[in-house]
Amino acid sequence: MAGADEIARAELDALRTRGLLRSLEPLRSPPGSEIELRPGERLINFSSNDYLGLASDARIAEALAVGTRTWGAGAGASRLVCGDFLPQHELEAELARFASSEAALLFGSGYAANCGILPSFAGPEDLILSDALNHASIIDGCRLSRARVEVYPHGDVGAVEKALRAPARRKIVVTDAVFSMDGDRAPLRELAALCSAAGALLIVDEAHATGVIGPRGAGLAAELGVAADVRMATLSKAFGVAGAYVAASRAVCDLLLNRARPLIFSTALPPALACAARASLEILAGSEGDARRSRLWSNVRRFAAGLREAARADSAIFPVVTGTPDRALAMAAHLRELGILAKPIRPPTVPQGTSRIRFAVTSAHTVDHIDRAIATLRAC
């Protein structure tokens, strides 16, 4: 029988042949709109989800440092054992206020949250309707639930309406608010109306909408006045920190605390990180956050106009679809030679045949950054 090393080499060769091999390359500079990869190689960064430029904010770093000195580096245990500290509760109370929800509950990451939420509500007798372009963590949460999962064509409200007619103990519709690799918005109003008529639950992943869309950056559901049963948001993207939270009723949060395995069986987010996220929330939800959002949206409009896609300035995410993985790799390499970091996105992150370069615009980009990216793209 082949050993692990032999198996790994064969699998890696197969990935390489298909243009799907991935590898790491560390940044030599802090996160930002300009970064250094190889020594002396300065690149304009269009691959980060740091939408408001907060990941390297000195005030947040200081809150993390003070939090660490006060509370230590790690939580030491799961929240339900002895990893539960005051800063996590204080952050949850502020996040609930921010999200206008009764309660909020922290998770170690957005990935962990989605893997915990769906199995907490759905089992083998239940039906989950999941958008075809939902994030991998939602797909995995659906699988872990062992519910019947129907993947509906992307954004197809008619298909959801039809699928909701099927019998099931519970019915759940789950969707990204802003789709992570396409940047378009889910039809949340229509989905909420269908869920309400069918007695189904609506679960929304606001990872790419939080901090970016809605009043004070409260997300797409807040922007549209849609009441979702469960809203998940990350602290890792516009917040510039790490972790995630669910905004929902107290009972929903309590159920998750009792059922969500990634929460129960994983060490809690360090309390110092909660201190950093509080500092970030204060900026993100305040007037400075508004100013950063205004710069972000001005950059989004400029980028969209440059791509001649002004009608699709729905979010900070712009896909440039190349088709094959090899073409995405070649285009990313070419962009990099010209000073632009825009990473190739390939299956399984996106469906076969839709490999792409994903540009993410942030408030930290200057007009010159945007114009150089557009000019470089044209040159490619």
Ligand X SMILES: Cc1ncc(COP(=O)(O)O)c(C=O)c1O
Tell me which residues are annotated as active site.
180, 208, 237
Greatest Cα pair distance, the chain, in angstroms, is: 62
User: Which of 265, 295, 219, 266 lies closest to 54 in space, CA to CA?
Assistant: 295
Residue nearer to ligand X on the CB measure, 110 or 344: 110
Residue nearer to ligand X on the CB measure, 107 or 376: 107
Helix (H/G/I), strand (E/B), else coil: 78? coil
Query: Please, what is the minimum distance in Å from the beta carbon of residue 57 to ligand X?
Result: 18
Query: Please, what is the minimum distance in Å from the beta carbon of residue 186 to ligand X?
Result: 11
Residue nearer to ligand X on the CB measure, 33 or 49: 49
Query: Please, what is the minimum distance in Å from the beta carbon of residue 135 to ligand X?
Result: 4
d(CA 105, CA 245): 5
**Residues binding ligand X (CB under 6 A):** 109-111, 114, 135, 137, 176, 180, 205, 207-208, 234, 236, 244
Helix (H/G/I), strand (E/B), else coil: 346? coil
Residue nearer to ligand X on the CB measure, 133 or 252: 133
d(CA 314, CA 138): 22
Stated length of the chain: 380
Number of H helices, E strands in the chain: 14, 13
How many other CB atoms are found less than 10 A from the CB of residue 306? 17
Query: Please, what is the minimum distance in Å from the beta carbon of residue 110 to ligand X?
Result: 2
Helix (H/G/I), strand (E/B), else coil: 138? helix
Helix (H/G/I), strand (E/B), else coil: 7? helix
Query: Please, what is the minimum distance in Å from the beta carbon of residue 207 to ligand X?
Result: 4
Residue number of the CB closest to ligand X reads 110
Query: Please, what is the minimum distance in Å from the beta carbon of residue 3 to ligand X?
Result: 32
Residue 147's alpha-carbon distances to 125, 139, 167, in angstroms, are: 6, 12, 13
Residue nearer to ligand X on the CB measure, 236 or 355: 236
Residue nearer to ligand X on the CB measure, 137 or 363: 137
Q: What is the DSSP letter of 312?
A: G
Phi, psi (5° rounding) for residue 61? -60, -40
Tokens 């560390």 correspond to what residue? 26
